[in-house]
């Protein structure tokens, strides 16, 4: 009789072990990942709901935000000229190039070349060389644009030549301008 009970008991122990193993595998590879995905989805939904609420709030106050932005812009435009702020020298050079190109375009000069690099004699300054052609009025307008620009610029050297390629047009000048602009890394 004890012989018959032993295999039955062993069978129950093995079956119990298999049940425990199956339950642990189900929990480990089925239930826990599903709960983790559910939590992640809930967090993402909460984040999206918060963003939607924030955007709805901004939409409700759009006119107030526009007025505030306009007033700040007027304050900045009427305020003191500022140095170029950039996260890298390349971004600062891009800002200076845009400033020079915009001033030349507004003055009616045609830009041939703009070269920008760091000023090796000082810490953090940028130097630029602008080569353009136009008339004397365009040159005067360019210098006025740079004097009143929203960013601080200093004209270091100015060379003006009559354009030898256009001998029949004595009022066309070749202008080479070297500018230095202070820059602050953010």
Fold of 84-185: Alpha-Beta Plaits (3.30.70)
pLDDT for 1 equals 46
Between 171 and 68, residue with greater pLDDT: 68
Torsion on CA atoms 16, 22, 28, 33, rounded to nearest 10: -140
* pTM for the full predicted model: 0.56
**C-alpha 159 chain-centroid distance:** 35
Is the pLDDT at 3 greater than 80? The verdict is no
Report residue 167: phi and psi, to 5°: -60, -30
pLDDT (tens digit per residue) in 133-183: 888 999 999 999 999 888 889 999 999 988 666 666 667 888 999 999 988
pLDDT for 164 equals 65
Angstrom distance (rounded) from CA 6 to CA 68: 86
pLDDT for 122 equals 67
pLDDT (tens digit per residue) in 85-138: 888 888 888 999 999 999 999 999 999 999 988 766 667 788 999 999 888 999
pLDDT for 170 equals 65
- Three-state DSSP state, 86: strand
pLDDT for 168 equals 61
């Amino acid at each position: 009789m004890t012989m018959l009970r032993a295999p039955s008991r062993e069978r129950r122990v093995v079956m119990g072990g298999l049940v425990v193993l199956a339950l642990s595998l189900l929990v480990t590879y089925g239930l826990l990942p599903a709960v983790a995905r559910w939590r992640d989805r809930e967090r993402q939904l909460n984040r999206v709901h918060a963003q939607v609420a924030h955007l709805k709030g901004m939409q409700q106050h759009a006119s107030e935000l526009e007025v505030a932005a306009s007033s700040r812009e007027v304050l900045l435009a009427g305020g003191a000229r500022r140095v170029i702020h950039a996260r890298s020298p390349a971004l600062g050079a891009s800002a200076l190039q845009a400033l020079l190109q915009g001033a030349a375009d507004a003055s009616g000069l045609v830009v041939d070349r703009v070269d920008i690099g760091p000023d090796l004699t000082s810490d953090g300054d940028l130097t630029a060389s602008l080569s353009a052609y136009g008339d004397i009025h365009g040159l005067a307008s360019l210098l006025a644009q740079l004097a009143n620009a929203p960013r601080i610029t200093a004209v270091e050297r100015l060379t003006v030549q009559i354009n030898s390629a256009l001998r029949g047009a004595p009022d066309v000048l070749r202008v080479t301008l070297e500018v230095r602009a202070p820059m602050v890394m953010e």
